[in-house]
Structure 1
Amino acid sequence: MLCTRRLGGLTARASALLPGRSRLGGFGAGLRARRVSTGWSPVGAAFNVKPQGLRLDLFGERRGLFGVPELSAPEGFRIAQENALRKTDLLVARACSTPPGPQTVLIFDELSDALCRVADLADFVKIAHPEPAFREAAEEACRSIGTVVEKLNTNVELYQSLQKLLADKKLVDSLDPETRRVAELFMFDFEISGIHLDKEKRFVKRAVDLNVKILDLSSTFLMGANFPNKIEKHLLPEHIRQNFILAGDHVIIDGLHAESPDDLVRHSPFKIFFKPSLSALLCSLSLLGFRQTPLAWVGSTTASHHSRQGTESKNTKTVMEFLEKLSDKLSERTLKDFEIIRGMKMKLNPQNSELMPWDPPYYSGVIRAERYNIEPSLYCPFFSLGACMEGLNILFNKLLGIALYAEQPAKGEVWCEDVRKLAVVHESEGLLGYIYCDFFQRADKPHQDCHFTIRGGRLKEDGDYQLPVVVLMLNLPHSSRNLPTLLTPGMMENLFHEMGHAMHSMLGRTRYQHVTGTRCPTDFAEVPSILMEYFANDYRVVNQFARHYQTGQSMPKNMVSRLCESKKVCAAADMQLQVFYAILDQIYHGKHPLRRSTTDILKETQEKFYGLPYVPNTAWQLRFSHLVGYGAKYYSYLMSRAVASMVWKECFLQDPFNRSTGERYRREMLAHGGGREPMLMVQG
């Protein structure tokens, strides 16, 4: 998953629950510092060491989070903010006094970079750091920078400095395509606030206040979406209580138990976890309502229409046609899948054979295991974490000439001792950037697999290239008894998916950080990560690394074949569920959706586009965190899957290790980030 958020025209564009960069320093230098370090070690071995066994450099100089000196303590966020704001003031003055030209865009990008370096980093820390003091300081930094950004997006003089450039046709024609695109993207984000309207029609202060309110509501909604529900212990049958967290007289439900063979253990948490709360309903209504409010000022009809700008799908009609056509194509196969799942439920549970929304994940898994003998315990020994990381290393080396090396973090550089730091090194270009791997479960850590941009790449004024820095977050179990961490096939595929995002960030070589790596249209951002899933399911790739952790035996080809075939079981029903989510997202952000209850809309849409009954007194939409990050753009997963499928078949199916094709893929797609129209990259 690629988390996204918008802080406005002058911060990072849709990237990942984006973190940033600054003169805060500490991330390594540019082109002149790309030599190989003797402190690097092979990647596979580093990940097969028990996490608790790793020791940080306790005697070295304390550098602060990500090597940023100020962030050795929570108070450092205040210092980082002050530094960023001082630089912002200088850059705003410079932008307003510089004659219009390419230099205008460079100044705007440097301004965006100064803010992102704090806001994006803080956006990660506020949800991932184990210490409350760091999380609270980061939360305050996000809010503070967000407020500044919204004020800048309504700064008329700043806006006019960019307008002068784009209004001069001769100047615009002289810009290279990437510079022109970045200028237009900055202008688009300015105009979201209605700054281009006549003076008497502008709502500058209201726009700032409203966007800050949206940021606050988004944060509140995300917290609520992940917050557990509880129920009095006596309301649950005694024989199933041990499946959940017990706290005094209450049972805590912090998620679904979709894989449990006990129908009641699946049924109960579904109803409890999705039980609506008035505060969450009000928050979601306010968030959706406030998102619609500014659009009348700027001429957009709906939030979904507005979000289309700058994407592959230019209007809501195109998206809905795509989703409805896909639903029609799937309908017959989806009904067949439901009949197969219902048949398995009748076989195993004849007393209660009605198919309910909590049933498909479990019974489709039973069907797969029965047909193809894909019990995870048979596969896990071949997928140690170290082996999987080495597999990625082999793939990237053959395809792109890139190697991954483990590097010892400095004291204070990481937020938890089991976080690994990877250097990404090209055989001729040297160091390309850093990936911090936060892979293991811990208390209060979000239960999502995510990619976060901590710093995007850009060409600096001194000619050096600012190296990208990202975090990959997974939720893998800790190893036990000195064994390596063993991954299920699903975990392995997720690892490949998230590493696709990371390499998109590493290999982007844009002039501007505003469009670096995954900072591209949302409906293209998932293409590289979904493409990696195809590599993860190809025997030629898996055979390079899948070894039994005890015997060293390669995974038999028929095991990989069975695993791939099993994924076709109930695939239509799985995709139909995604279509339902995407259509619901479009409706919520459509024209006048809130004249009716969001739960009524959910019920109607579920029955029309999914087929399984709505469960009374549940509100699944309140747990739909993508309403924040992917608001009106959840369809992106489906559209990206279609594009990734085409790229795989046309480019890599014949030979997944073809170096010339890999170089072409980097040159035509990954290198451009969001600096080029997505369809031009795909055509290339």
Structure 2
Amino acid sequence: MLKRKVGSILSTPANHVFHFRGCQRLARCRTLVTQAFPTIPASVDDVSLVSLFDHPKSGSRTSPLSTTGLFQHSSLTHPHALVTLADATLVRAQLLTDRILRARESRSELLKVVKNLDRLSDMLCGVIDLAELVRNAHPDRIWVDAANHAYETLCEFMNVLNTHVGLYEVLKAVMTDPSIVKTLSPEAYKTALIFWLDFEKSAIDLPPEQRNKFVSLSSDILVLGREFLKEANAARPPAAVKPSELAGLKDKGMGVRLQLQAQFTQRDLLVYPGSLQAQMIMRSAPSEEARRRVYIAANSSTPEQVEVLEKLLKTRVELARLVGRKSYAEMTLDDKMAKSPGNVLYFLDALMDHTRPFAQNAIYTLSTRKQQHHGTSTLPTIQAWDRDFYCPPEPPAPPIPLPPLTLGTVFMGLSRLFKHLYGISLRPADAVSGEVWHTDVHKLEVVDEEKGVIGWIYADLFARRGKASGAAHYTVRCSRRTDDDDEAADGTLEGYEQRIQESQNFEAVKRHRLPNQDGVYQLPLVVLLCEFTRPSIARGPTVLEWHEVTTLFHEMGHAMHSMIGRTEYQNVSGTRCATDFVELPSILMEHFLNSLTVLSLFDMDGTSAIREIGNHHADPCHSIDTYSQILLAAVDQIYHSPAVRDSNFDSTAELANLHNTRGLIPYVPGTSFQTQFGHLSGYGATYYSYLFDRAIASRVWQNVFSRDPLNRETGEKYKREVLRYGGGKDPWKMVSTLLGAPELESGDAEAMREVGRWRIEDEVGQPGRH
């Protein structure tokens, strides 16, 4: 999962959450190969990492000798300071806005417009992103309220800039002057294009009445999106299950309790969707009728829930039509790798064609199991409620048996991996009192063997009340070159000198000069949020489940993208890149867990019995799940196509038609899963991105890394050709160079088809993990 903002002053920062971890049933092992791996001597930092995360008595390594504020900003020692900082930032942002608006008065100022627009974006986002972290992680309600105030105040100003005709006209003067354009570096030009496209998407060139309509529709979409998410997460009514339908449950413990409960009450048992009882019935109830009822209950909707979604979809297409686009998908995709809805369909069609034979074979396997269960003479049809019963999900597991992996051990393995690939390691650092928001938070320095400290990761990894759920990567500070800011020319405002100084002091903390590198840079700072079990003296260190290890590798993929993608412009820094490219580094990190060589990095002193095991066999359900994911991506495109404009548009009918014409399992009448498809809110028309990046990551792993995953030359190539650019270079060119596939460079329809033909691999080489 990635928490990030759109890298531009022209879009209110939004959280982009990419977190797909469907049920998995990894391969079991048959053959033991007695090949051990060489012992890697533990470094001082290795030992420190294990000690930091595994021994509670070590505490948070907070220095008591001095105090500061959050992230070493001396002013942020109390909640109101966030409000004051937001006000100070507004003053400076207005001064810089006025300077940009006067840029046409001199050529020297026009030459600085792209830089100053990026500075303006960073000035606002630097506080917005910090406030976003605080309101999701801080345990103190007063701090959260202050963060909400700061966030809303600055976002409101950013929304004003979104449709600022004056700023657009100045940028237009720059972009239409060939003599100025040729002075821009490729990264600067890419940054300018981001601003240009975002202005155009904001109806900037329309008459005032239509611009006002654009703002109104955008507000309606935000409100409807929140309402849709609320309804998507709302509890569904229970299913009534007869006591007789609970006979023969595989789960003897809970099954017996449910049967006794039903017998005692002398009435049907009410089973709520999502409950443990519902999961148990879907996985182990021989009665098909019980499973059918629970499935229908779990996928039901009220007319009001369907209405909210369809109103959201219709408002989106109205917005797109206002700016001259045929559909919301067309408006959304022109700055993505896909470029157009047609290209997305080329990708999905190719991926569907490639995956269908595997999924059909899996359906056949389940059908034979159902035939044996019922003793029928012919193969029965697999229904939606059969999936978990005939192929029950199992907890994710590593490709080989491993000793218990503690949190410290996994961080040690990550640091060793980065050292091999990039010459970068993780090092525990003391946090000054007041620098972190909770004693659970640990600070890590990201150390380059040549440049020294290149950034910081704050790890807030343990579950607690009030903290945002799930796992996420928050970019609190982006890379940006600062020695050419020319702040003095921004001017000042009488009576506001103190506030201006406060904002300048806030930004000064971020700046550093690295060895062997020209210029002064704002160094990246990210926060990882997870909800692992806290270690204790009684229980000992936190031991991670395999899915938690995978999650940590995924999030650290985002973190290293932020650290290495240190660009001169913050709008293209690290993870600030195309939505359908941003998950590539994090998904690729998951593939490293397929390597037995990489797994050996978890062994500190060579005492663990890590041995190679081969001859895996695949679980047939992976391909079914992948195919289902492709169908969801397809329905997302339908919901954001011109078809929504039809007065007879029916989201349920469209879903049913897709399943019945291209699906493998029949649509179930009376269901309407789309009202629970929460990603339609934040990722309308871009849901394909998950599958797209997983296909590319699989290809990169197989063709580039799999044979020698610790090879420094390969790691440097990946760092040099992909990670360092952030969003500052065309992703197609980066992928084309990395894979040695010039046919991909144009990113046209055939390139999208080609990616669709690539097999989506799991960590253990199976199709369909998502």
Tell me if TM exceeds 0.5: yes
Quote how far apart the aligned CAs of 1:82 are.
1.1
Partner of residue 643 from structure 2, selected from 592, 608, 617: 592
Q: How does 1:110-121 map to 2 (within 5 A)?
A: 110-121=119-130
Quote how far apart the aligned CAs of 1:302 are.
1.1
* 1:89 corresponds to 2:145: no
Q: Which amino acid aligns with 1:323?
A: L
For residues 272 and 136 of structure 2, the distance between their equivalents in structure 1, rounded to whole angstroms, comes to: 21
Q: Deviations over 1:339-388 (max 9, x none)?
A: 3234456667989x87444554575456x89xxxx878995743222222
For residues 294 and 436 of structure 2, the distance between their equivalents in structure 1, rounded to whole angstroms, comes to: 35
The residue that corresponds to 1:435 in the other structure is 457
The residue that corresponds to 1:539 in the other structure is 596
Q: Which amino acid aligns with 1:49?
A: H
* 1:169 corresponds to 2:178: yes
Q: How does 1:145-156 map to 2 (within 5 A)?
A: 145-156=154-165
Q: How does 1:46-85 map to 2 (within 5 A)?
A: 46-50=52-56, 54-55=59-60, 57=62, 59=64, 63-69=68-74, 71-85=76-90
Quote how far apart the aligned CAs of 1:295 are.
1.8
Quote how far apart the aligned CAs of 1:95 are.
0.9
Matched-pair contact (CA < 8 Å) for 1:17–1:124:
no
Matched-pair contact (CA < 8 Å) for 1:15–1:519:
no
Closer/same/farther in 2, CA of residues 135 and 380 from structure 1, 3 Å limit: farther
Q: Which amino acid aligns with 2:53?
A: F
For residues 489 and 406 of structure 1, the distance between their equivalents in structure 2, rounded to whole angstroms, comes to: 24
Q: How does 1:384-395 map to 2 (within 5 A)?
A: 384-395=406-417
Q: Which amino acid aligns with 2:343?
A: T
Matched-pair contact (CA < 8 Å) for 1:255–1:273:
no
Partner of residue 654 from structure 2, selected from 592, 597, 601: 601
For residues 336 and 284 of structure 1, the distance between their equivalents in structure 2, rounded to whole angstroms, comes to: 35
Quote how far apart the aligned CAs of 1:504 are.
0.6
Matched-pair contact (CA < 8 Å) for 1:3–1:629:
no
- Scaled by the length of structure 1, the TM-score of the pair is 0.83
Q: Deviations over 1:517-573 (max 9, x none)?
A: 11111111111112112211111111221589xx94232211xx46xx356643321
What SS does the aligned partner of 1:105 have?
helix
Percent identity, please.
33
Quote how far apart the aligned CAs of 1:328 are.
1.8
Deviates more, 1:98-107 or 1:296-305: 98-107
Q: How does 1:393-408 map to 2 (within 5 A)?
A: 393-408=415-430
The residue that corresponds to 2:622 in the other structure is 571
The residue that corresponds to 2:523 in the other structure is 467
What SS does the aligned partner of 1:424 have?
strand
* 1:335 corresponds to 2:369: no
Q: Deviations over 1:395-432 (max 9, x none)?
A: 10011011112234344444443333222111111111
What SS does the aligned partner of 1:190 have?
helix
For residues 585 and 349 of structure 2, the distance between their equivalents in structure 1, rounded to whole angstroms, comes to: 25
Matched-pair contact (CA < 8 Å) for 2:473–2:527:
yes
For residues 350 and 479 of structure 1, the distance between their equivalents in structure 2, rounded to whole angstroms, comes to: 51
Q: Which amino acid aligns with 1:45?
A: S
The residue that corresponds to 2:34 in the other structure is none
The residue that corresponds to 2:251 in the other structure is none
Quote how far apart the aligned CAs of 1:164 are.
0.3
Matched-pair contact (CA < 8 Å) for 1:96–1:157:
yes
Matched-pair contact (CA < 8 Å) for 2:399–2:594:
no
What SS does the aligned partner of 1:431 have?
strand
The residue that corresponds to 1:31 in the other structure is none
Deviates more, 1:384-393 or 1:482-491: 482-491
Quote how far apart the aligned CAs of 1:665 are.
0.9
Closer/same/farther in 2, CA of residues 381 and 446 from structure 1, 3 Å limit: farther
Matched-pair contact (CA < 8 Å) for 2:461–2:530:
yes
For residues 164 and 138 of structure 1, the distance between their equivalents in structure 2, rounded to whole angstroms, comes to: 37
Q: How does 1:94-105 map to 2 (within 5 A)?
A: 94-98=99-103, 99=106, 101-105=110-114
Quote how far apart the aligned CAs of 1:220 are.
4.1
Q: Deviations over 1:270-307 (max 9, x none)?
A: 55554435554444334323322222232221111111
Matched-pair contact (CA < 8 Å) for 1:376–1:488:
no
Q: How does 1:312-461 map to 2 (within 5 A)?
A: 312-344=337-369, 355-357=382-384, 359-360=386-387, 363-364=390-391, 379=401, 381-443=403-465, 445-461=467-483
For residues 476 and 257 of structure 2, the distance between their equivalents in structure 1, rounded to whole angstroms, comes to: 40
Partner of residue 609 from structure 2, selected from 532, 536, 554: 554
What SS does the aligned partner of 1:521 have?
coil
The residue that corresponds to 1:26 in the other structure is none
Closer/same/farther in 2, CA of residues 222 and 145 from structure 1, 3 Å limit: farther
What SS does the aligned partner of 1:403 have?
strand
Q: How does 1:171-190 map to 2 (within 5 A)?
A: 171-190=180-199
Closer/same/farther in 2, CA of residues 325 and 255 from structure 1, 3 Å limit: farther
Matched-pair contact (CA < 8 Å) for 1:41–1:406:
no
The residue that corresponds to 2:310 in the other structure is 285
For residues 69 and 368 of structure 2, the distance between their equivalents in structure 1, rounded to whole angstroms, comes to: 57
RMSD: 3.8
* 1:43 corresponds to 2:96: no
Q: How does 1:154-233 map to 2 (within 5 A)?
A: 154-197=163-206, 199=207, 203-228=210-235
Deviates more, 1:123-132 or 1:290-299: 123-132
For residues 93 and 399 of structure 1, the distance between their equivalents in structure 2, rounded to whole angstroms, comes to: 46
For residues 203 and 595 of structure 2, the distance between their equivalents in structure 1, rounded to whole angstroms, comes to: 50
For residues 275 and 135 of structure 1, the distance between their equivalents in structure 2, rounded to whole angstroms, comes to: 35
For residues 716 and 292 of structure 2, the distance between their equivalents in structure 1, rounded to whole angstroms, comes to: 49
Closer/same/farther in 2, CA of residues 309 and 424 from structure 1, 3 Å limit: same
Count residues with an aligned counterpart: 647
* 1:582 corresponds to 2:628: no
Matched-pair contact (CA < 8 Å) for 2:8–2:571:
no
What SS does the aligned partner of 1:294 have?
helix
The residue that corresponds to 1:631 in the other structure is 684
Closer/same/farther in 2, CA of residues 233 and 6 from structure 1, 3 Å limit: farther
Matched-pair contact (CA < 8 Å) for 2:397–2:547:
no
Quote how far apart the aligned CAs of 1:485 are.
2.2
Quote how far apart the aligned CAs of 1:495 are.
1.8
Q: How does 1:5-44 map to 2 (within 5 A)?
A: 6=6, 9-10=9-10, 16=16, 42-44=48-50
The residue that corresponds to 1:306 in the other structure is 331
Quote how far apart the aligned CAs of 1:252 are.
7.3
The residue that corresponds to 1:35 in the other structure is none
Closer/same/farther in 2, CA of residues 531 and 310 from structure 1, 3 Å limit: same
Closer/same/farther in 2, CA of residues 289 and 7 from structure 1, 3 Å limit: farther
Q: Which amino acid aligns with 1:611?
A: L
Closer/same/farther in 2, CA of residues 445 and 357 from structure 1, 3 Å limit: farther
Q: Which amino acid aligns with 1:456?
A: C
The residue that corresponds to 1:24 in the other structure is none
Q: Deviations over 1:156-210 (max 9, x none)?
A: 111111110001122112211111111011010011121123x46x523332333
Deviates more, 1:525-534 or 1:222-231: 222-231
Closer/same/farther in 2, CA of residues 347 and 134 from structure 1, 3 Å limit: farther
Quote how far apart the aligned CAs of 1:577 are.
1.7
Structure 2's unaligned 5+ residue stretches are 19-43, 247-253, 259-268, 485-518, 738-770
Quote how far apart the aligned CAs of 1:269 are.
6.8
Quote how far apart the aligned CAs of 1:438 are.
3.0
For residues 266 and 234 of structure 1, the distance between their equivalents in structure 2, rounded to whole angstroms, comes to: 9
Deviates more, 1:390-399 or 1:308-317: 308-317
